[in-house]
Structure formats: structure tokens, C-alpha cells
């Protein structure tokens, strides 16, 4: 049975709830649906599952976009109620007839809902009985087919154009029917243009598939007839002997002569500076003072002037023949008066063109599909205003959706959080995670340089004890920026190294600890387990996922599996997941900015930093308006 049915406006005003049901919901499924689905542009989904202690709910919903109403039904997931969709549709139609924006109470809708519910349950029961009656007929038909196939034994016939399936014995499933009504032990292959009989009219089964080598040698010695006539070939034995005889005949390659007088001098290949016994290098340049202001503190100028509507409109060139058929007067009249209500058939061409455009900008196909479904759900049934085209309406709705997705829903002011942690006399800990080769260590140094510009004391923790050269790389950045570094070498437990680094920072009074970790693929179980241990043991203030702006569909797989592994391998009841995203190599992608949208959509975490160059100052904030304009350009 239903647990709850709720009607509220898009502004959050509850208009009516079913008092007859009156079941107290465990947890907050409605709030979770609004936060995780409706506000995240996932409203195109069929349903939403909510797990609470002692209960598992399924939520279904529908919109009345013209009136701005939301209808939500909640029921136990184990029940699989078949009438919920039908009931929501009837409630939507009935409630929209009595809805008044100035009215706040709808107590008289209780009796209407009771009748609609009884009607929906009766329809579902009738449909269930109809399926049960029709089920034995189909089962009898299947039994007849099975018995018919059993009479044929191991002999089968395969139609040339049909699908071929292998069963457990290696035989092919039957596609065509018997020509004589009974099995004669022969195997036929039927085609529309020609029929070819097998040599003896019998098919080899799995028991006689073995090849007779003596017969094969005789056939090879006589020759094989093909389209080009008879082709003579050597036997297997002769061929192998010829190959063996040809091998020793290979001539050795002559080496170039090197004259003593003209011997080239060996150039210096190692350009690294020498270090002393303690690993110190006095020749490293100190560049922290002359790099200039970080791009994080510069306001990026963005022109809000959009391009011409004719160039930007998706689907403007779709089906010109159909547009001509409608006629000039009808199109002008429709643009003046406005269309009654938008339907799926009206939105289809524009959404299809918009989806293709997003995919060309490197947005993952799965994300583009969900976004278009969400926009379709938000526009279906909405009245089109006068002098407005469908394509421009769809693009405006998509633009609003993209802005909502990319705009952070929580504070991402790291400097404020650093000062708050400083007042509590503890360091602010940031852990950088990600796959191999995305630039974690380099962008960690950029973040450290930016924090230095704001008079924040920073310590680096070299917790990449897996990759050779990782500690030396971070040590070079630390010496160039004059930042202390905590390191324990290689083959150490990174979780313990990070813990000791945090303790050292607490003793020294460092404000921020930047923890560098080893790059790992999302499917590497041992390294993912080590990362989960590091996060659970040290409980950092911020977990940053460092990802490339070059990736497309793989961004969905990386972030979803990172979060899934951190959740599965966590030992606490409230696992720590990815808090933010650092997008690297943003200067190499031109207008292919879709990775930012894919990562934010799949994780729900904001893009906090964008790496756009090789120097320490090349770190900036994400410009949401510029990204949205580029995606829809």
C-alpha cells in the first residue's frame, strides 16, 4: 500500500497530503528526493530509491509544468505497486482542475483521491488477472516448441538471415521450420537467393569435430579449388621443412664502422644538479617571490553578450521539408498566439540536437541523455509563450539547468575554513587523490603557492610511497617555494606517513597540510584500500579529486568508482567521499569543456580549482557562465 502521497509547488509550499494514509515515514525521503534528484536535474528518471534504517522506499513523481506543481508518491520498495503511475496521472488531472494559486487548503480533495485510488487499484487487479489468464497459453506454446525441438534430436536448421545461438552441446538453435514436417537427419541452410546442401547431408556435432590430418595433407597436395581456380600448395611437412631450411640462410647485418679519429664525444645527458649526502641542493632557484599574483585572485572578465540566435539555436536546421509543409501563415500565427501545451513530439528534435551538441563538447553520453530527459520533464505540458520558438525555449531551460548543476550548493571558501581551523589550533588537511598522470603533485604545488600569497603557512606531506621519483618531485617543489616537507621515503604505509605529518604540523604550527597520494586506477583494489585507510585514519578536512579536462565518458567511471570504493571500504558508518574537484590541463581542450559538467553531475561535488598552465600562478576558479556558454555554443 501507499505510504504517502504529497502535492506541493516548485517553491516548496505543501498544498495537500493524504490524511487517510497518515503513515509516518522513516527518515526524510521527500527532502532527499528534492536535494538529490529534482535540484540535480535528475527529474527525468523513472523512480528514486531511498534507504532508511528499517525501511526501503521507492518514490515516483510527476510534474504539472504549466501550474508549477509536483506530485510525489511514496511506497515500500518490496511491494512493487503497479497502479502508482496511473494513480499519479489521475491525481494530476483531477487536482489541476480545482487548483487556484490563491487557495492554500484543499481538504475537499480527500474524497476525490479516495475514489481515484480505488479505481487505480481495480485497474491494476484486473490487469494482473488478465496476465495470469494469458500466462498458461504462452507456457503451452513454449512446451509445444520444446517438444517439437526435442523430436528433432541433435539435427538443426539455420536460416541464413536469422540469428545464430550456440547451445550447451555446440549445436545451433533452430530458426527455420521443417519443410516436410518431420526430421530426416539432414542439415539444410536456406537463403533467399541460393541453397547449398552439405556434402553428405549431415552436420558434424561436437563429438566428431576433430580434423583428420592425413586427409588434410592429401587435399593440400592435390590443391584447393576456389574462385580463382585450382591453387596448388605444399603439404604441411614440406612447408615446415622449407621454412626450417630458410632460417639459417639469413644474412647478418653489417655494423657501421667507427673510426677512432672521428669518434664523437659523449654529450652530457644528466642535467640534474648535484646534491649532498643529505639530499640538499643549493642551486635550486627560489621563485616564490617573483611568480606574481595567482590567477585564483584575478577576476576573469566574461562578456555576457550571446551570439546570434540563428547560430545558437539547436534544431534550427532540423527537417526543413516539414517546416515548409506547415505553411507561412500557420507558423506566423502560431508564433503570435503561442502553442497550447508543449508535448514530447514537439521537444524531441530540439533535444536531440542539443544532446549531440553536448556530446561534441566532451560531455559523457550518459550525462547528456539524463540532462535532456530532465529538461523534457520540466517543459512537457508547459504553455509556449508568444513570439517564442521551441528551440529557444529548450535552450533556455538547458542553460538554467547547467547553471544550477555547476553552481556550488555549499561554501567552497577554503581560506575561511583554514582560519576557522586555525582558531581551533589544528591544521587544515587537504588530500589530493586521482588516477595516474593527471598532475596531482604539480597542482598541489600551485595550491600551496596560492595559499602562500594569502599569508598561510603550508606543509607538504609526501605520501606517494609507491611511484619512483614521487618524493623527489615533491621535494623539488617544496624547495622552490620554501615550504617544509614531511617525508619518510618509499615502501611505507601512506596512512601512517600522513598521520605523522599532521602531528608534525600541529607541533610546528603549520596552518595547512597538503597530502600528496599515489596515482591509482579506480579498479586497483589494493591501492584503493590503502587510500580508504588513509582517509578514514586521518579524517581530512577536504578530499580533492584531481581529474583531467581531457577525459570524456571515463570521467563518469572514475568518479563513480572512486566514491563507491571509498564508501564500500570505509570502516565508519558515515564514510568520507570526494568533497571537491580540481580540473587539470584546462588550457589544452579549447571548447571541449564537457568533463567539468560530467564530473560535477556524477559526484555532486563542485569544481574548486582549475589548472590552466605550467607555472605556479596558473590556477583559477571555474567560471560557470563561460562554461555554460561554451557548452551551448
Strands, DSSP E only, in 79-144?
none
pLDDT for the residue 286: 53
Q: Which of 43-52, 130-139, 270-279, 460-469 has the lowest mean pLDDT?
A: 270-279
Number of DSSP helices (H) and strands (E) in the chain, helices first: 19, 18
Contact between 493 and 532 under an 8 Å Cβ cutoff? The reply is no
Residues 6+ apart with CB under 8 A from 620: 295, 296, 298, 300, 609, 610, 612
Check: CB of residue 5 under 8 Å from CB of residue 25. no
Alpha-carbon span 341 to 394, nearest angstrom: 14
pLDDT of 460 above 90: yes
CA 568 to chain centroid: 19
What percent of the chain stands above pLDDT 90?
Answer: 28
Residue 96 has pLDDT above 80, yes or no: yes
pLDDT tens digits, 522-550: 888 888 999 999 999 999 999 999 998 88
3-class SS of residue 99: coil
pLDDT at 229: 47
Residue with the larger pLDDT of the pair 288 and 33: 33
The residue with greater pLDDT, 293 or 59, is: 59
Is the pLDDT reported for residue 62 higher than 80?
yes
The stretch 603-622 carries a mean pLDDT of: 91
Higher pLDDT, 411 or 88: 88
**C-alpha 511 chain-centroid distance:** 36
What mean pLDDT is predicted for residues 164-185? 41
Q: Tell me, what DSSP letter sits at residue 546?
A: E
**337 or 568, greater pLDDT:** 568
Residue 15: phi, psi to the nearest 5? -95, -35
* Angle, alpha carbons 568-574-580 (nearest 5°): 85
Q: Can you say whether the dihedral through the CA atoms of 396, 402, 405, 406 is positive or negative?
A: negative
Q: How confident is the model at residue 576 (pLDDT cuts 50, 70, 90)?
A: confident
User: What is the average pLDDT score of the chain?
Assistant: 75
**Confidence band, pLDDT 50/70/90 cuts, at residue 398:** very high
Section 580-597 average pLDDT: 90
Do 384 and 390 meet the contact criterion of CB atoms below 8 Å apart? yes
- The residue written with cell numbers 591544521 in the block is 427
Are 541 and 511 spatial neighbours (Cβ–Cβ below 8 Å)? no
Residues forming a β-bridge with 20: none
Distance from C-alpha of 293 to C-alpha of 299, rounded to nearest angstrom = 12
List the Cα angle 101/342/626 in 5-degree steps: 90
Mean pLDDT, residues 435-448: 93
Give me the pLDDT at residue 507, please. Answer: 93
Mean pLDDT calculated for residue range 609-631: 91
pLDDT reported for residue 540: 94
pTM of the shown model: 0.62
Which residues, 6+ apart, have CB-to-CB distance to 569 below 8 Å?
Answer: 528, 529, 532, 533
Judge whether 462 and 544 are in contact, CB under 8 Å: no
Residues 6+ apart with CB under 8 A from 611: 439, 442, 443, 446, 582, 583, 584, 585, 586, 618, 619
**Count of beta carbons in the 10 Å neighbourhood of residue 357:** 19
Backbone angles phi, psi at 5, to 5 degrees: -135, 130
Tens digits of residue pLDDT in 364-388: 888 999 999 989 888 888 887 777 7
- DSSP character at residue 410: S
Count Cβ atoms within 10 A of the Cβ of residue 265 and give its class: 0-12 exposed, 13-18 middle, 19 or more buried: exposed
Q: Looking at the predicted structure, is the pLDDT value of residue 609 above 90?
A: yes
* Res 508: pLDDT: 92
Lowest mean pLDDT among 162-171, 264-273, 449-458: 162-171
Could you read off the pLDDT of 296-324 as tens digits, one per residue? Answer: 777 665 444 444 444 444 444 444 444 34
Give residue 169's pLDDT band: very low, low, confident or very high (50, 70, 90). Answer: very low
Would you say residue 158 has pLDDT above 60?
A: no
pLDDT tens-digit map of 189-242: 344 444 434 334 444 443 444 445 555 555 555 554 544 444 444 444 444 444
How far apart (Å, rounded) are the C-alpha atoms in residues 543 and 534?
11
Q: What's the pLDDT score for residue 555?
A: 77
Give the percent of the chain with pLDDT over 70: 67
Question: Does residue 474 have a pLDDT over 60?
Answer: yes
Closest CA to 302 of 625, 631, 632: 625
- 592-622 CB burial, b ≥16 within 10 A, e <16: bbbbbbbbbbbbbbbbbbbbbeeebbbbbbb
The neighbour count for residue 182, using CB atoms within 10 Å, is 8
Say whether pLDDT at 60 is over 60.
yes
**pLDDT attached to residue 319:** 41
Question: What pLDDT sits at residue 493?
Answer: 92
Q: Which are the contacts of 248, defined by CB distance < 8 A and separation ≥ 6?
A: none
Mean pLDDT in residue range 273-290? 50
Q: Any residues with CB less than 8 A from the CB of 511 and at least 6 apart, and which?
A: 418, 421, 422, 427, 428, 451, 456, 457, 458
pLDDT in the model for residue 378? 87
Name the strand (E) or helix (H) holding 419.
Answer: helix 414-423
Amino acid at each position: 500500500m501507499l505510504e504517502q502521497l504529497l502535492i506541493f509547488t516548485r517553491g516548496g509550499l505543501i498544498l495537500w497530503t493524504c490524511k487517510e494514509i497518515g503513515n509516518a515515514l522513516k527518515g526524510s525521503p521527500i527532502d532527499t528526493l528534492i536535494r538529490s534528484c529534482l535540484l540535480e536535474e535528475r527529474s527525468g528518471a523513472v523512480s528514486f530509491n531511498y534507504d532508511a534504517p528499517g525501511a526501503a522506499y521507492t518514490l515516483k513523481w510527476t510534474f504539472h509544468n504549466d501550474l508549477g506543481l509536483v506530485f510525489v508518491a511514496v511506497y515500500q520498495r518490496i511491494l512493487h505497486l503497479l497502479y502508482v503511475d496511473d494513480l499519479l496521472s489521475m491525481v494530476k488531472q483531477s487536482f489541476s482542475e480545482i487548483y487556484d494559486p490563491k487557495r492554500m487548503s484543499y481538504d475537499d480533495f480527500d474524497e476525490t483521491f479516495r475514489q481515484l485510488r480505488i479505481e487505480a487499484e481495480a485497474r491494476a487487479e484486473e490487469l494482473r488477472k488478465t496476465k495470469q489468464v494469458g500466462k498458461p497459453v504462452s507456457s503451452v506454446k513454449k512446451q509445444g516448441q520444446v517438444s517439437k525441438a526435442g523430436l528433432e534430436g541433435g539435427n538443426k536448421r539455420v536460416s541464413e538471415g536469422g540469428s545464430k545461438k550456440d547451445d550447451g552441446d555446440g549445436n545451433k538453435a533452430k530458426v527455420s521450420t521443417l519443410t516436410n514436417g518431420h526430421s530426416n537427419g539432414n542439415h539444410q541452410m536456406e537463403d533467399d537467393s541460393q541453397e547449398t546442401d552439405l556434402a553428405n547431408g549431415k552436420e558434424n556435432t561436437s563429438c566428431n569435430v576433430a580434423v583428420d590430418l592425413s586427409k588434410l595433407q592429401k587435399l593440400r597436395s592435390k590443391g584447393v579449388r576456389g574462385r580463382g581456380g585450382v591453387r596448388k600448395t605444399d603439404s604441411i611437412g614440406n612447408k615446415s621443412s622449407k621454412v626450417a631450411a630458410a632460417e639459417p640462410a639469413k644474412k647478418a647485418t653489417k655494423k657501421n664502422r667507427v673510426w677512432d679519429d672521428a669518434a664523437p664525444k659523449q654529450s652530457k645527458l644528466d642535467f640534474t644538479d648535484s646534491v649532498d649526502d643529505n639530499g640538499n641542493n643549493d642551486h635550486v632557484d627560489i621563485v616564490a617571490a617573483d611568480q606574481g599574483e595567482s590567477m585564483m585572485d584575478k577576476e576573469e572578465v566574461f562578456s555576457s553578450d550571446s551570439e546570434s540566435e540563428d547560430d545558437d539555436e539547436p534544431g534550427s536546421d532540423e527537417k526543413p521539408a516539414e517546416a515548409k509543409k506547415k505553411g507561412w501563415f500557420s507558423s506566423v500565427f502560431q508564433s503570435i498566439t503561442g502553442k497550447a501545451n508543449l508535448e514530447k513530439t514537439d521537444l524531441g528534435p530540439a533535444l536531440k540536437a542539443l544532446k549531440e551538441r553536448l556530446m561534441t563538447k566532451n560531455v559523457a553520453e550518459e550525462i547528456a541523455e539524463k540532462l535532456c530527459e530532465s529538461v523534457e520533464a520540466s517543459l512537457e505540458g508547459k504553455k509556449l509563450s508568444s513570439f517564442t520558438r521551441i528551440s529557444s525555449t529548450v535552450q533556455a531551460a538547458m542553460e538554467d539547468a547547467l547553471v544550477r548543476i555547476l553552481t556550488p550548493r555549499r561554501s567552497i571558501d577554503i581560506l575561511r575554513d583554514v582560519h576557522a581551523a586555525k582558531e581551533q589550533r589544528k591544521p587544515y588537511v587537504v588530500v589530493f587523490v586521482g588516477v595516474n598522470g593527471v598532475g596531482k603533485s604539480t597542482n598541489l604545488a600551485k595550491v600551496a603557492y596560492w595559499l602562500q600569497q594569502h599569508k598561510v603557512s603550508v606543509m607538504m606531506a609526501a605520501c606517494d610511497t609507491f611511484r619512483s621519483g614521487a618524493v623527489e618531485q615533491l621535494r623539488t617543489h617544496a624547495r622552490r617555494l620554501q615550504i617544509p616537507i614531511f617525508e619518510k621515503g618509499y615502501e611505507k604505509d601512506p596512512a601512517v606517513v600522513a598521520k605523522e605529518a599532521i602531528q608534525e604540523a600541529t607541533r610546528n604550527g603549520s596552518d595547512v597540510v597538503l597530502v600528496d597520494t599515489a596515482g591509482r586506477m579506480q579498479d586497483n583494489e589494493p591501492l584503493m584500500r590503502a587510500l580508504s585507510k588513509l582517509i578514514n585514519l586521518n579524517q581530512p578536512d577536504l578530499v580533492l579529486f584531481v581529474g583531467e579536462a581531457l577525459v570524456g565518458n571515463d570521467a563518469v567511471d572514475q568518479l563513480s568508482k572512486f566514491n563507491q570504493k571509498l564508501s564500500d571500504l570505509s570502516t565508519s558508518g558515515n564514510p568520507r567521499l570526494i568533497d571537491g574537484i580540481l580540473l587539470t590541463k584546462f588550457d589544452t581542450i579549447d571548447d571541449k569543456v564537457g568533463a567539468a559538467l560530467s564530473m560535477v553531475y556524477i559526484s555532486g561535488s563542485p569544481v574548486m580549482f582549475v589548472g590552466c598552465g605550467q607555472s605556479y600562478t596558473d590556477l583559477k576558479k571555474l567560471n560557470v557562465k563561460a562554461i555554460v556558454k561554451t557548452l551551448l555554443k
